[in-house]
Amino acid sequence: MTFATTHWSIVLEAQGDSPAARKALEMLCRTYWRPLYGFVRRYGLAREEAQDLVQEFFARLLEHRNLETVRREKGRLRSYLLVSLKHFLASERRRAFGVKRYETGPHIPLDELLESEAIDSALAESLSAEQLYDRRWALAMLEQVLTRLESEYRAAGNASLFDQLKEFLVGEESRPLQAEIGLKLGMTENAVKQAFHRFRQRYRKLLREEVGHTVIAPGDVDDELRYLVSVLRG
């Protein structure tokens, strides 16, 4: 894979007041909202206070142009945002911050957030704040990849094929048989096997691209991918 000069592309695109910058910041919020919110909740804040505080955290990134001061050699975007959030929490607690819901920036649908929180609440109790942040970060990366892949398949008129092939990404016990998928789609078992091979190759390439947006150098991508895998296995 060929990498661009800048690998913190999401961060750099989020600078300024242009429509492209606002779109990039919204993407940043959507990807990191759940990891950051999970950390704040595990940190000990109540649900509504945590919602408001994370909204305010992203508001500060936009309002004060904090992203413009990032030194790219710091390395990993997930680490930068978590360190920034910790500093923000410490600062706001020292000032006994009176939370105020942030309404003018990128909108993150809280109904989706609360639904996901109910699903993995048991898991959250068994992990530290940092572990929960890392796990939700890893899952957010995978979700971004799957969303991009789905868009590609639907644009090519292969929505049904995507819906079937994505089932192969789950655990082996839950996977459908290739022959069963072939019967549903009018394909031979060998054709399904080849289709999944291409699906998996594209999935891996998009995952490298997503991770590449958040690190500095090509070598860092491999390290970050290994870390992602270790988080999911843990």
Q: What is the pLDDT of residues 159-195, one digit of tens each?
A: 999 998 888 776 555 566 788 888 888 899 899 889 9
Place of tokens 């969303």: 147
Owning domain of residue 16: 9-233
Q: Is 4 inside any structural domain?
A: no
For the chain, the domain total comes to 1
Q: What is the pLDDT of residues 44-98, one digit of tens each?
A: 888 888 888 888 888 777 666 555 555 544 568 888 888 888 888 888 776 654 4
Q: Is 93 inside any structural domain?
A: yes
Q: Is 36 inside any structural domain?
A: yes
Residues sharing a CB contact under 8 Å with residue 137, sequence separation 6 or more, in sequence order: 32, 35, 78, 231
The sign of the torsion formed by the CA atoms of 196, 28, 96, 83 equals positive
In this prediction the pTM is: 0.76
Q: Is 147 inside any structural domain?
A: yes
The sign of the torsion formed by the CA atoms of 207, 210, 216, 218 equals positive
